[in-house]
Amino acid sequence: MRENGVEYRLGPALLSAADIRTRVRELARAISRDYAGRDLLLICVLKGAAIFWADLCRALRVPCQSDFVAMESYGDSTAPLGQPRFTKAADVSLAGRDVLLVEDIIDTGHTIARLRDLLQIQAPRSVALCALLDKAERREVPTPIEYCGFVIPNVFVVGYGLDYGQQYRHLPHIATLRPRHVA
């Protein structure tokens, strides 16, 4: 795929499928312990977090409901669009609920901060974040991540739900996407 005179190709795996499976189970154990006896609502941030959300749901040992929201940050580019766009709201009431946002990757923090602000309007009991990946060195907005899968370096990654131009979501592992300048 090409973007601004740069061709992007799949690079080496950053996280194996086995590493991801192990970490998802660990996160599920911690979430199950912390939310035992509470009214847990998982909110999956589409599209990138869908695979992570599905695996996390199956590993949880507490009852929960799920809903979906969509925020667009990148479009089909490797660079953020600017102001994140809210493209799908939750369909259930959040009032008085313990909400756990399930996100694929936290980068600058703008998207998740905007989403938290939008959700707080509905008066949930609590809002916490479970993110598979944290690109901490790119953070521009303080973003607490209560349940973090992996901290990764500042590289563009695809796989396990993350995409570039709607490609590579199907990969069972997380790989880097490497730029190659072309004439």
Q: Locate 88 and state its tokens.
A: 């799908």
Residues taking part in catalysis: 107
DSSP string, the chain: -EETTEEEEEEEEEE-HHHHHHHHHHHHHHHHHHTTTS-EEEEEEETTTHHHHHHHHHH--S-EEEEEEEEESSTTSSS--SS-EEEE--SS--TT-EEEEEEEEESSSHHHHHHHHHHHTT--SEEEEEEEEE-GGG--S----SEEEEE--S--EEBTTB-BTTBSTT-SSEEEEEEEE--
Residue with tokens 């992007």: 8
For residue 136, count other CB atoms closer than 10 A to its CB: 16
